[in-house]
Structure 1
Amino acid sequence: MPIIIRSTTKCLAPNASPAVRFAIEDLHRDLHRTLEPSQSEGASIELVQQQMAAESYLVSVQHDSLKLRAGDDFGFIYGLYAISRELLGVHDLWFWNDQPFEQRAEVEVPDDLKLTSKPNAVRFRGFFINDEVLLENWRVSNDPNLPWRLTFETVYRLGGNTVIPGSGQRGEPHLQLARQMGLYINQHHACPLGARMFSAAYPQLEPKWPEQQERFEGLWQEAVAADPGHRTLWTLGFRGQGDTPFWQSDPRYTSDESRGRVLTQIITRQYQLVQASWPGAPCVVYLYGEVMDLYCKGLLQLPKEVITIWSDNGFGRMVSRRQENWNPRIPSMPHGSGRKGIYYHVSFYDLQAANHITQLPNDPHRLARELETVLESGGNTVWIINASNIKPHVYLLSLIAALWRDGQIDVDQATHSYIQRYFGSERSEQIASLFEQYWRVAIPYGPHWDDHAGEQFGNYVARTLIHQLLLNGRTADDAAPALAWMTQAPTLSQQIAYYYNLVEPAAARYRQLGERITKVSIQLRQSGNRQAARLLDDSLGLSTQIYRRSLAGAALVCQALQAAQKEDYQHAFYYAGLAREQYQSCNAAMREREHGVWGGFWANDCLTDVKESAWVCTQLMGYVRCLGDGPHYNLWKREFTYPADEKNVYVLTNMENHETDDEIFHAMKRAWQA
């Protein structure tokens, strides 16, 4: 006889740890979400402790109950979420993809049910919730902590066990919840050991080594003593008072040898402090940016038990990251002896060309092959995935989680499974085609397969070009030094032309993709599948709109700057106003997707910050109006607001208040768009 699971089903676990109780609460929530209220008693789910391999579980029917057997907290947690997924139909990304639920009366569980775990390909695996500005000011059910609980739940549902719960000291408010939920804690590479920043603890002192060694060690010892330790991956290292090399604030260290010597000394001391308190605790060093360079030159000597974390460049390629105009692309595929892992981005923030609020625009087949090579190269101890605000990146996160579980993936099959799971089978082939077109239309700004532009390219580069024009003044044509990574063009006008030739055709490609997405969305709605249509608009549709609007704005910025350089200030003003409208519409597109629980989610877009792009366009409008309409600001008023027979009659400068920039811009639109 099958046993019956009903909404009244209870988990029996009198000795469950606090971490397991979080998962039990989630399962009870899922029972009530998916099953109708019942007066009948449902079969119980009993948690049974027994000797088993770490993180493993077995779910089976025994007598009149469902038994979940495991040997540790992780096994019980994964088993509880397996019951939710396999018996109740709650998908791993249910929250982020707005999975709808239709309640059933009950679930019959056959006698021969067996839900079993298998070993994961990666030992420590999880998310770095970094650049988390969308999560920071957003609430679910008026609870600012609930987004974080749901995030940590998602780590578990995807088979993860590790988290960095926020950016540096901004993560501290969420650290306790992550610990309570039983996750392994790792630390930001800029905050070794999770210690307080020196400049925060001692704002009046310069953070110099070795002069302040005693104070630095005091902060490290404080962090080690405050941590429970048993579920911590300790990050060792030494950066500046922020995410920068330490020698930027201490220029005495001019040679690679001196820098490597300091890092070796500090990392060794940190390792000793950790091991003195927590013998055998795993310690990691992030070979990121400048540290990668020193390590590959043999100038960084690490304790042999330290796990080396090799990092991608922010775009999914295992090479060193570009920092400002320095881009040596040093291979960073794990190699050498010892235990190894990776720090890998689906979201990145570089103030140049990365993606932060949109899905990574690189070929997922390439990304999967890169990660499979990581495993083939021995990088299977730690995977920390920079997931930023989760929602824009759930598709790739699902693929990466499959890799950390299974060690390999068929991307096409996984993509179709993802689409059918969250969008349904209707028009799944069309939706899969849209996913493929998304990375095919991306801007190739460099020669490598990973050199595809994220949405920051349409914002930061445009703002930099505007800044340079204002800095140059009316006559100079000096190139923006900060854009040498993009082009070696020797003048600003050539930089503008180069950029325009990238963004203008790309805006058209994204417009066409957006039209295709809208067509499929309409077809889904017409057939009654409103949930799939809304999800398509929220995910791929929104990313595409952000690119379309940002790049259209960037192209208009180029036209404005080119007109300004020709002293055609009216058209410079006009194009800058049109560019501002595109960036404003980009922000509006995000805010329009804030339905239901997502109210306010996109409000704090402050890193890419399309609103700032609009504001910078406003500054350009004011500047060129000053040049073309000043000092009395009545010439454009006459041209665009006076009737023809009064434009050239100068009895008085003006008979009405001067128009604002917005009023002049709208008058131009009426005249030129008639």
Structure 2
Amino acid sequence: MYSGKSFIFNKETYLDYQGPELKSVYHFMKVLIRDKDKVFQVKSTEVKTTILFQFDERNVHNLKREQFHIRFSNDLTEMKVVAPDELGIIYGILHLSEKYLGVDKFWFWNDCEPTIKKMVKIPSDPYFSDVPKVRFRGWFINDEVLISKWKHNNSNTYVWEMVFEALLRCHGNMVIPGTDIEDPTYKKIAIEMGLWITHHHAEPLGAKMFNRVFPEHNASYIENEDLFKKLWKDAIIEQQNDKVIWNIGFRGQGDRPFWVDDPTFDTDEKRGALISKIMRDQYEMIAEYQKEPICCVNLYGEITELYKKGLLDLPDGVIKIWADSGYGKMVSRRQGNHNPRIPSTPVKDDPGPHGIYYHVTFYDLQASNHLTMLPNDTNFVNDELSQAFEHNMCEFLIVNCGNIRPHLYFLDFVSQLWDKGKIESYEFLKGYVLRYNPSYSKEMSNYIQDFFHAVVQYGDHEDERAGEQFYHFSIRNLANQWVISNGKESAKNLYWATGKADLTEQFDWFKNKVKSKLPLWEALLEKGKAFVEDARNIEQQRLNDQLLIQVQIHKNGCKALYCFAEAFEKFKSKNYIEAYVLVNMAIEEIKESEKMMKNPKNEKWKRFYDNDCLTNVALTNYTLETVRRFLRMYGDGPSFYNWEKRYLTSVEESSVMLLTNKSKQLSDDNLIKKLKEKGKSLV
């Protein structure tokens, strides 16, 4: 009999489970076996121990929901992990995996395999897990265009399992498993892994979009109330046996207000009355199939304004979910040029429960971050969410997490906030870099702080800071208006940033915004390259593929936008060759981003960015090439030989013109190449 003071966890330890047959628990028992086999690869001792996971439905230990308790037999041959519910058991399993086997919560997403060991000695003290600050907490897998296509070991299903495993390792318990879900596979995986399901604010009750099912009908509730109710009833019946937080409400097709397509609702009073009626109808329909259903409503965008005006009548007990600006500030989001910034927090006497919809990634076709992390730092996020918690917004926190991998830093940070309520930002930073960049931990602490100092401040408010889409969408909008108006009409899509300025003023505005930040991004990039010079180990590969790529995207976008603005200045002064070369410099910047996205240091991430259709770096390159051709029309057409003759042909040759030209006209790429070879510095 073993007589030591610690429990021995090793290769011979037997793992057992006592409780109802739950697919989720069996799944994570296999996960623990997988992790155990990774860590313990050789036999270490004759000690035979058992870890028993026990489902205590009667809750004799008086545990809270999702809590687990660890205790040991007197002879220390058995560890018992007891929980009163499904998620408590799962969290207990993952606790052993992370704390004792050393499996990182983002092991798959951040390329962290645990250290091989002979055994682990676990102190025999009883342990009660903490209860998270937030009741329902999870991720909205939104704008998931990268992970919806990317495969690992030829499996996309496995990728989604890794999404949900990471969420549960972060103590999440709830998920919106994708956007505009046509394939229920991911939702089924999430349910079978023990997660609560909730719904996109544009897809009430998780029902199919009206126009997908009834394309021949107008998506008007007034005209087709019965058809809408059929969709909702079908969704309720389908999910009635699942753990669901039912999202009630009514927005419209295409994630926009329904009154955009139905001018009948031309006042806030009419809009609020219809939404209120629909929500009560939905609530009553759910109650027919689930006893005491848990429901929520998103006070998002225009809905916030209606609620603040007292025009929404909600059923009692519905969780009111308040959304941030998309950039982390708890105010209503900007939509087009409309930016009221209404505080997105309840007033003091507003009855709860209340929750939060928070973005660490966003997509607004303006200035948001999709391929790069949130441009506002952890101090900012800490203040916003801790203040929200002080307003009793602790019932629900859903985080827009995009494609997971570019946003691990903030997903980790917010998961600690939903556990503890408030944390010390710098301590988090130190712990984060120590986990993932131990060889450069001090340098990386400074590096990440410098990242946020380099971010472009595009607006007057503290949260109005630029993600990479600021460069890409601005270039494409400016380019479009430059070409179609011959540089004479302003880009109305950019009024949100510049106000009603003419096109020249708009170019100047963007140039001035990026000018002071460009040297910071350039310095950051060079410094980061020094860390990963030979990428000889997994730590350097991780740094290159996870953080340096984001610096690269920012630096390239920043410089491309600057060069593009300078090119327009040259165009206005009819200096077309210099404008042409400056646009080409912008193209070269964007191509650097494309190259890095296509060629990660770790082959595992090959093709991860293949479906970059939202920021769409390649489309920016295409747009710039179009402007480059446009400029050549001005300065080199219609013969397309003038620049070659002027800049590349010797004086004696160019002065003799027996033939217009002796070879085919050069392509744009070859023309630029030859200009460089000749050392022609035109700008």
Identify which range, 662-671 or 381-390, moves more after superposition: 662-671
Mapped partners of 1:326, 1:509: distance in 2: 32
Identify which range, 222-231 or 608-617, moves more after superposition: 222-231
Per the alignment, residue 452 of structure 1 pairs with 465
Q: Displacement of 1:107 after TM fit?
A: 1.8
Does the 8 Å CA contact 2:544/2:601 hold for their aligned counterparts? no
Does the 8 Å CA contact 2:318/2:353 hold for their aligned counterparts? yes
Deviations 1:623-673 (A, max 9, x none): 121222222322223224433222243322222122222222223333454
Q: Displacement of 1:234 after TM fit?
A: 0.8
Give RMSD over aligned pairs.
Answer: 1.9
* Equivalent residue for 2:502, pick from 471, 482, 491: 491
Matched, 1:354 2:368: yes
Residue identity matched to 1:515: E
Per the alignment, residue 155 of structure 2 pairs with 143
Q: Displacement of 1:14 after TM fit?
A: 5.2
* Equivalent residue for 1:315, pick from 299, 324, 327: 327
Per the alignment, residue 37 of structure 1 pairs with 42
Structure 1: tracts of 5 or more residues without a match? none
Per the alignment, residue 282 of structure 2 pairs with 270
Per the alignment, residue 9 of structure 1 pairs with 13
Per the alignment, residue 485 of structure 2 pairs with 472
Q: Displacement of 1:178 after TM fit?
A: 0.5
* Equivalent residue for 1:49, pick from 28, 52, 55: 55
Deviations 1:103-135 (A, max 9, x none): 11122334x243421111111000011111111
Q: Displacement of 1:19 after TM fit?
A: 0.8
Deviations 1:520-566 (A, max 9, x none): 455xx79x9x3333322233322111100111111111122222222
Per the alignment, residue 517 of structure 2 pairs with 506
Matched, 1:104 2:110: no
- Matched position secondary structure for 1:66: strand
Shift in CA distance, 29/108, structure 1 to aligned 2, threshold 3 Å: same
Q: Displacement of 1:609 after TM fit?
A: 1.2
Matched, 1:540 2:543: no
- Matched position secondary structure for 1:93: coil
Per the alignment, residue 388 of structure 1 pairs with 402
Q: Displacement of 1:412 after TM fit?
A: 1.1
* Equivalent residue for 2:628, pick from 613, 618, 621: 621
Shift in CA distance, 361/270, structure 1 to aligned 2, threshold 3 Å: same
Per the alignment, residue 408 of structure 1 pairs with 422
Shift in CA distance, 566/650, structure 1 to aligned 2, threshold 3 Å: same
- Matched position secondary structure for 1:134: coil
Per the alignment, residue 650 of structure 1 pairs with 657
- Matched position secondary structure for 1:4: strand
Mapped partners of 1:23, 1:320: distance in 2: 39
Identify which range, 322-331 or 592-601, moves more after superposition: 592-601
Structure 2: tracts of 5 or more residues without a match? none
Does the 8 Å CA contact 1:126/1:385 hold for their aligned counterparts? yes
Moved over 6 A (4+): none
Deviations 1:420-462 (A, max 9, x none): 12222x4422211111111111111111211111110111011
Residue identity matched to 2:114: F
Identify which range, 590-599 or 303-312, moves more after superposition: 590-599
Per the alignment, residue 602 of structure 1 pairs with 609
Mapped partners of 1:491, 1:448: distance in 2: 24
Matched, 1:418 2:429: no
Matched, 1:90 2:107: no
Q: Displacement of 1:489 after TM fit?
A: 5.0
Counterpart mapping for 1:173-184 below 5 A: 173-184=185-196
Mapped partners of 1:228, 1:134: distance in 2: 31
Matched, 1:579 2:575: no
Deviations 1:326-355 (A, max 9, x none): 111111023411211000000001111111
* Equivalent residue for 1:190, pick from 202, 205, 214: 202
- Matched position secondary structure for 2:288: helix
- Matched position secondary structure for 1:286: strand
Residue identity matched to 2:497: M
Deviations 1:579-599 (A, max 9, x none): 111111111122232513222
TM-score by length of 2: 0.94
Identify which range, 635-644 or 315-324, moves more after superposition: 635-644
- Matched position secondary structure for 1:234: strand
Mapped partners of 1:169, 1:289: distance in 2: 22
Does the 8 Å CA contact 2:545/2:602 hold for their aligned counterparts? no
Residue identity matched to 2:654: K
- Sequence identity (%): 33
Mapped partners of 1:148, 1:72: distance in 2: 24
Mapped partners of 2:498, 2:8: distance in 1: 66
